[in-house]
């Protein structure tokens, strides 16, 4: 679930969203995240869940990229901007279940996605990623995160995020652990120019399990 009230609705416009991200330090954060945690190599297959305007491509090497988003304006922008550098499609994780294009990935990224989803949809998203990955493939998630003793201004800023399902580290871990055996997490208390807290989840597909279908 997300809020699109007031000024937040303008963030659905690709140009304005990209400008906002640049202003608050989100673009630099994305570059650091991709370098440190995504660690894609040339030739890797990368699936980008909720790709937005596909800005991740600016920091990725020459990969086989497939990005999807429910916002047709974002996808149109990505196609105009990046053309043959990737495949960009409209839809969500429910739309593409069973679609052979979303199999055999080395890396799946979901940047700023889980805090827009309730627990069931978040688990479904993570399970989609698990099914899309090769063995030893990795899912990288990046989201807003509550921490103990968080500053009042940071709480205020984050409470006005479009995503209405910000969680604690433990809550994110618990959802991811329903699907992945190997889950690692990192908290960043100063990721951008504004008071904000984020978490990175790095989940590796192993021989485990998956509870439920």
Strand-pair category, 133-146 with 198-204: antiparallel
Q: Would residue 210 count as lying in a domain?
A: no
Q: Would residue 1 count as lying in a domain?
A: no
The pTM (predicted TM-score) of the whole model is 0.85
Q: Would residue 211 count as lying in a domain?
A: no
Task: Output the pLDDT for position 202.
Answer: 98
Mean pLDDT of the chain: 87
Strand-pair category, 133-146 with 167-168: parallel
Question: Which residues have C-beta within 8 Å of that of residue 39, sequence separation ≥ 6?
Answer: none
CATH number (domain holding residue 11) = 3.40.50.150
The interaxial angle of helices 169-177 and 119-132, nearest 10 deg, is 50
d(CA 99, CA 74) in angstroms, rounded, equals 21
Q: Would residue 213 count as lying in a domain?
A: no
Q: Where are the alpha helices (DSSP H) in 9-144?
A: 14-24, 26-33, 72-82, 119-132
Task: Output the pLDDT for position 154.
Answer: 87
Q: Looking at residues 104-119, what average pLDDT do you find?
A: 96
Contact 17, 126 (CB under 8 A): no
Please count the CA atoms within 13 angstroms of the CA of 98 that sit on its side-chain side.
Answer: 2
Q: Would residue 158 count as lying in a domain?
A: yes
d(CA 2, CA 70) in angstroms, rounded, equals 13
Number of domains in the chain: 1
Given a cut of 60, is residue 10 above it in pLDDT?
Answer: no
Task: Output the pLDDT for position 153.
Answer: 84
Question: Tokens 């990175």 sit at which residue?
Answer: 200
**Domain span at 131:** 6-204
Task: Output the pLDDT for position 106.
Answer: 98
d(CA 169, CA 186) in angstroms, rounded, equals 9
Q: Looking at residues 151-169, what average pLDDT do you find?
A: 88
d(CA 115, CA 122) in angstroms, rounded, equals 8
Token couple for 66: 């497939």
Q: Would residue 135 count as lying in a domain?
A: yes
Q: Would residue 105 count as lying in a domain?
A: yes
Q: Would residue 96 count as lying in a domain?
A: yes
Say what percent of the chain tops pLDDT 70. Answer: 84
Task: Output the pLDDT for position 196.
Answer: 86
Given a cut of 90, is residue 40 above it in pLDDT?
Answer: yes
Q: Looking at residues 116-125, what average pLDDT do you find?
A: 96
Token couple for 142: 């990046």
d(CA 50, CA 126) in angstroms, rounded, equals 12
Task: Output the pLDDT for position 2.
Answer: 42
Q: Return the higher-pLDDT residue of 106 and 159.
A: 106
């Amino acid at each position: 679930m997300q809020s699109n009230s007031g000024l937040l609705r303008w963030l659905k416009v690709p140009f304005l969203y990209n400008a906002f991200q640049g202003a608050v330090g989100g673009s630099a954060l994305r570059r650091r995240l991709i370098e440190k945690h995504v660690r894609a190599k040339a030739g890797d297959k990368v699936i980008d869940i909720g790709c937005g305007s596909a800005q991740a491509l600016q920091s990725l090497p020459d990969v086989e990229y497939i990005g999807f988003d429910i916002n047709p304006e974002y996808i149109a922008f990505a196609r105009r901007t990046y053309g043959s550098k990737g495949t960009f499609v409209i839809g969500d994780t429910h739309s593409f279940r069973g679609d052979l294009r979303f199999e055999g990935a080395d890396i799946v990224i979901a940047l700023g996605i889980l805090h827009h989803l309730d627990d069931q949809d978040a688990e479904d998203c993570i399970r989609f990623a698990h099914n899309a990955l090769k063995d030893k493939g990795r899912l990288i998630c990046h989201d807003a995160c509550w921490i103990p003793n968080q500053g009042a201004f940071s709480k205020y800023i984050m409470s006005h995020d479009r995503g209405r399902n910000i969680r604690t580290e433990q809550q994110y871990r618990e959802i991811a652990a329903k699907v992945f055996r190997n889950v690692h997490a990192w908290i960043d208390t100063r990721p951008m120019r504004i008071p904000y807290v984020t978490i990175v989840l790095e989940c590796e597909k192993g021989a485990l399990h998956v509870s439920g279908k």
